[in-house]
Amino acid sequence: MSERRVFRFAPSPNGYLHLGHAYSALLNFTLASNCGGRFLLRIEDIDLGRARPAFEAAIHEDLAWLGLEWERPVRRQSEHFEDYAAALESLGAMGLLYACDCKRSDIGRFAAAHSDWPRDPDSAPLYPGTCRDKPRRSVREVLAEGGAALRLDMRKAAALAGEGLFWRERGAPGRAPDSTVPDAAEGFSLVRAEPAQWGDVALARKDTPASYHIAVVVDDALQGVTDVVRGRDLFFATSLHRLLQKLLRLPEPRYFHHELILDDAGEKLAKSRGSATLRAFRDAGVSAAEVWRKLGF
Ligand code: GLU
């Protein structure tokens, strides 16, 4: 019997959904419907300083307006910090995490003082390793105190995961997939994961006890997600996600990083720039069917 595929749309309630989110949600929903799969909504609200109940309510409202249906109950990450702490503890037990109390500004200053200091794919300077060799502390203790970040010792982690870490990506790597809805039989290619480009990434922070990276791999596994379909802005993060899946012995979903919907100036739509939100379209009298059409469905 073939598996029932599971897709998810996982927005962060930090702003109103815009056309880019709608594209991702419609693509996941359509792919799930086309293969008789399941479609989940997950609220990624671990960033407690930025998540707002009003934005979360608006996500439900906007998706329902688009005509989407999703399974209940909806997983809200802020209710599951214990699951992420357990995963961090496993990494800690492998000797892969260390506490770090450097400030972002310390790292920035260090990078500025070293010409050509390497940067991660999001353009943040790599962590220089200042706290790596301090005596290790237990993950539980660091999380309970809440005063420090937990960083992954990348060299150790990569060595433990071994050579030849790949993920399966729909379409050819390096080529932006076209906007048509890919059919279920379309091929996947193998992309080599290069987690070292992220350096000693923080998996928990002083103000957030779990990072996006740890929460997303734990949740995709717990929810049995078979197909991660999300924007190309997260393509490089997948290297890190594959590494965490391998270390935590989690199942490996297939990936499809779809093109991003750009604004008229060719820039990525962003909540922070106040890009056209779905509610602005709705208030202007645009119908949900028009949004589907505008996005090529
Ligand atoms: N929560 C992320 C975002 O809103 C998406 C994460 C994912 O799909 O893996 O950008």
- Residue 158 CB neighbours (<10 A): 19
Residue 8 C-alpha to ligand 1 middle, in angstroms?
A: 10
| Angstrom distances, CA of residue 273 to CA of 16, 95, 97, 180 | 11, 41, 35, 27
Of 3.40.50.2300, 3.40.350.10, 3.40.50.620, 3.30.750.24, the CATH number of 1-79+262-297 is 3.40.50.620
Nearest-CA residue for ligand 1 atom 6 is: 10
At residue 254, the pLDDT reads 95
State the amino acid at position 5 in one-letter form.
R
Which of 15, 10, 1 has its CA nearest to residue 273?
Answer: 15
At residue 207, the pLDDT reads 87
- Beta-sheet strands, E only, within 142-283: 149-152, 166-170, 188-192, 202-204, 227-231, 254-258
Residue 231 C-alpha to ligand 1 middle, in angstroms?
A: 8
Which of 7, 64, 63 has its CA nearest to residue 31?
Answer: 7
pTM: 0.92
- Beta-sheet strands, E only, within 70-208: 75-76, 97-100, 149-152, 166-170, 188-192, 202-204
Residue 174 C-alpha to ligand 1 middle, in angstroms?
A: 20
Q: For the chain, give every domain's residue range.
A: 1-79+262-297
**What is the full per-residue pLDDT of the chain (297 aa) written as tens digits?**
568 999 999 999 999 999 999 999 999 999 999 999 999 999 999 998 999 999 999 999 999 999 999 999 999 999 999 999 999 999 999 999 999 999 999 999 999 999 999 999 999 999 999 999 999 999 999 999 999 999 999 999 999 999 889 999 997 554 444 444 454 456 788 999 999 999 999 999 998 999 999 999 999 999 999 999 999 999 999 999 999 999 999 999 999 999 998 877 777 776 556 668 999 999 999 999 999 999 999
At residue 181, the pLDDT reads 45
Cβ 10 under 6 angstroms from ligand 1: yes
Q: What secondary structure letter does DSSP report for 53?
A: H
At residue 176, the pLDDT reads 42
Contacts of 135 (CB under 8 A, 6+ apart): none
- Beta-sheet strands, E only, within the chain: 6-9, 38-43, 75-76, 97-100, 149-152, 166-170, 188-192, 202-204, 227-231, 254-258
Strand partners, 150: 99, 204
* Alpha carbon distance 76, 57 (integer Å): 12
Nearest-CA residue for ligand 1 atom 2 is: 11
> Three-state SS for 58?
helix
- Beta-sheet strands, E only, within 124-172: 149-152, 166-170
Per-residue tokens: 19: 């056309």
